[in-house]
Amino acid sequence: MAALSTSLIVSTAAPALADEIVDEVKPVITSTGLTEGQLIGLSSRIFPTATDDTGVQYIAALIGGRGRMQTVESVAKDGLLVTPGVQYNNMDVDLTVRAYDAARNYGEVTTRVHVDAVAPTATFTPKSVKLSGTTTITASDVSDDVTEIVMSRNGQEISRATAAPWVFGWNTRATDPDYDGYPQIKFTIRDRAGNVTEVFKKYHVDNRGPKIEDVTSLVGRGRSTLRAWVSDQGGVARVEWWVDGARRGEGWEFAYDFGTRSRVAPLTVKAWDKFGNLTAVSQNVVVDATAPAVTWISPASGALVRGDRIATSIKASDSAGWLHAGLAGGYVNSEPPVDATSGKLTGVRYVKADGRYTLTWNVYDRVGNRTTVSRTVIVDNTRAKLTVTKAPKNKAKVKGTVKITAAASDKNGVAKVQLLVNGKVVATDAKAAYKFSLNTKKYGKKIKVQLRAYDRAGNVTTTSTRTWYRR
């Protein structure tokens, strides 16, 4: 025969039990675990006791003839569960405790109780707000029969109140240090009848200071501006700047005179949110008082150049990296990235006419230190003057070795004069007066002759072609 469950719904009739036992002695209820007029809630546990000559097996609690049966062992351990329906709310009812032995004999005792089938309530303020440190939460509109409210988080009790005023202190730094989030708080409300209501609330707890990022780490000489990105969900209340171990100013950015020499300065940025939570970030600031170093590449000082633009280039280096470079009267068409520490820069300077031109470069590093360098060059776009002073005339008949002389001049000097025969250079003379000897036997019957002069700037002057006929 199957064993009975430890909890059954029963009526006034005795339960069906195992084999018949000849036993007419009824169990005796020695205590119902109740007092006359006692409050019973929606779910209550009582601890009745009973005796019997052969032993009590089951105990039941009945209201209106119906209830719950449990084994003696479960009652002794956890109590007898009494669950009157809401239809009995605020009513005086008879609660019968009945004990059964193995022979289906039962004894019972009835106690008049008062049923409270309404769960307790309360309203908690603040309802939803950002909190920090130690705060106070108040319960209002509390049911009249509430005997206790317990505030807890993750099973850990925070605060308890047993009477009005229903006030709960919460040290959020003790339960949630360095926290910025939404912890769940449970309020357990109990009334005189043992009814329990659990209320769960989420508050935004902020025990963390503002976030400090992108703090200036490199400055130039003299007065420089320090900046930092400071953020906090609840708002930033104050930012302080500490330089060289002392408080120097406040605000999102701060100007400070770092002096005229390169050095490393200790810096601390402190920020508070509106709750007084503090964050401090310490680092070093590199003070760069050294301007970029520049070496010229081209053109050299005093160089002769030609054309309508002057191509120029320099090399520069700086430990802090370059910000930009400028060329007076022209433009920079190639430079390294901003954070490069060395490299080559090229530029073009515009030219309007012949004469002396100064090439001025300004090179800046990332913190504004500047180096200015200048070189002067001479622009010469005027060709040299070239004259044939002695040579056979055009269409002349020639034989043997022919002598040719020329005169050339230029304000910046002549570099050379060349003799061209049939379009090819056959001789060059770099000294005035310019003399050439041409052996006509090396060429055909028809010989075309020209002279070509180069000035020191590279300008070219060519004479008209003379055609000779070899005899």
Summarize pLDDT for 263-307 with one digit per residue, the tens.
999 999 999 999 999 999 999 999 999 999 998 889 999 999 999
Q: How confident is the model at residue 16 (pLDDT cuts 50, 70, 90)?
A: very low
Give the H or E element holding residue 322.
Answer: strand 322-327
Give 2's pLDDT tier (boundaries 50, 70, 90): very low
- Determine phi and psi for 360, rounding to 5 degrees: -120, 120
Handedness of CA 375, 381, 382, 383 (dihedral sign): positive
Give yes or no: residues 94 and 165 share one domain: no
- Say if residue 298 is in the same domain as residue 337: yes
328 and 405 fall within a common domain: no
Q: pLDDT band for position 176 (50/70/90)?
A: confident
69 lies in some domain: yes
12 and 100 in a single domain? The answer is yes
Tokens of 298: 């081209």
Tell me the whole-structure pTM to 2 decimals: 0.62
| DSSP 8-state class, residue 383 | P
pLDDT score of 78: 94
CA angle 306, 311, 316 (to 5 degrees): 145
* 383, pLDDT greater than 50: yes
Residue 167 tokens, joined: 């006030």
Answer whether residue 49 shows pLDDT above 60: yes
pLDDT of residue 118: 94
Peptide bond into 384 cis (omega under 30): no
Categorize the per-residue pLDDT at 7 as very low, low, confident or very high, splitting at 50, 70 and 90: very low
Considering Cα of 378, then 383, then 385, then 390, what sign does the dihedral take?
positive
* Whether 149 and 184 share a structural domain: yes
CA proximity to 215, closest of 155, 148, 265, 158? 265
Q: Quote the strand ranges of 366-400, DSSP E.
A: 370-379, 385-390, 397-398
Same domain membership, residue 444 and residue 430: yes
- Residue 4: the pLDDT is 29
Q: Is residue 362 part of a domain?
A: yes
pLDDT average, residue stretch 445-462 = 97
Q: Give the mean model confidence (pLDDT) for residues 437-446.
A: 95
In sequence order, the 6+-apart residues with CB closer than 8 A to the CB of 373 are: 294, 296, 314, 360, 361, 363
Q: Pick from 333, 355, 379: which residue ends a domain?
A: 379
Phi, psi of 308 (to 5 degrees): -95, 0
pLDDT (0 to 100) of residue 369: 93
Residue pLDDT, tens place only, 59-99: 999 998 899 899 999 999 999 999 999 999 999 999 999 99
Instruction: Provide the pLDDT for residue 10.
Output: 39
Q: Which residues does residue 184 pair with via DSSP β-bridges, in sequence order?
A: 202
Residue 21 has a pLDDT of 52
User: For residues 369 and 293, is the Cβ–Cβ distance under 8 A?
Assistant: no
- Report the share of the chain in percent with pLDDT over 90: 84
Residues 276 and 358 in one domain: no
Quote the pLDDT of residue 365.
92
In the DSSP assignment, the letter for residue 133 is S
Report residue 6's pLDDT band, with 50, 70 and 90 as the boundaries. Answer: very low
Instruction: Provide the pLDDT for residue 319.
Output: 87
The CATH number of whichever domain residue 202 belongs to comes to 2.60.40.10
- Say yes or no to pLDDT of 113 above 90: yes
Residue 337 lies inside a defined structural domain of this protein: yes
Average pLDDT, the chain: 92
Q: Which helix (H) or strand (E) is 175 found in, with range?
A: helix 172-175
C-alpha radius of gyration, the chain, whole number: 54
Indicate if 309 and 409 belong to the same structural domain. no
What is the spatial distance between Cα 342 and Cα 424, in angstroms, rounded to a whole number?
46
pLDDT confidence of residue 122: 97
Rounded CA-CA distance 349/360 in Å is 9
Q: Is 322 within 8 Å of 336 (Cβ atoms)?
A: yes
Name the domain boundary from 317, 346, 379.
Answer: 379
- Tell me the DSSP string of 407-449: EEE-TT-EEEEEEEETTEEEEEE-SSSEEEEEEGGGS-SEEEE
Please give the average per-residue pLDDT across 393-419, as a whole number: 97
Task: Give me the domain span that covers residue 236.
Answer: 215-288
How confident is the model at residue 20, as a pLDDT? 54
**Rounded mean pLDDT, 19-23:** 65
- Bridge partners of 410, per DSSP, are none
Give the total number of structural domains in the chain.
5
Instruction: List the 196-202 sheet strands across, edge first.
Output: 156-161, 146-153, 184-191, 196-202
1 in any annotated domain:
no
Q: What does the pLDDT read at residue 19?
A: 52
Could you read off the pLDDT of 227-268 as tens digits, one per residue?
A: 999 999 889 999 999 999 999 999 999 999 999 999 999 999
| Strand 204-206, strand 130-131: pairing | parallel
Give yes or no: residues 403 and 457 share one domain: yes
Question: How many Å from the N-terminal Cα to the C-terminal Cα in the chain?
Answer: 152
Cβ of 116: how many Cβ atoms within 10 Å?
24
Which of 97, 115, 133 marks a domain boundary? 115
Examine residue 2 and state whether it is found in any structural domain, yes or no.
no
Q: Is residue 465 part of a domain?
A: yes
Same domain, 264 and 304: no
Which is more confidently placed, 18 or 383? 383
pLDDT of residue 100: 97
How far is the C-alpha of 179 from the C-alpha of 204, rounded, in Å? 10
- State both tokens at 202: 């989420």
Considering the domain architecture, whether residues 236 and 324 belong to the same structural domain is answered as: no
Task: Please give the single-letter amino acid code of residue 443.
Answer: Y
Mean pLDDT calculated for residue range 398-416: 96
Rounded CA-CA distance 92/113 in Å is: 6
Quick check: 194 pLDDT over 60? yes
Go through the chain and tell me how many residues it has.
471
Whether residues 25 and 91 fall in one domain: yes
- The first and second tokens of residue 392, run together, are 């056979």
**Structure confidence at residue 322 (pLDDT):** 84
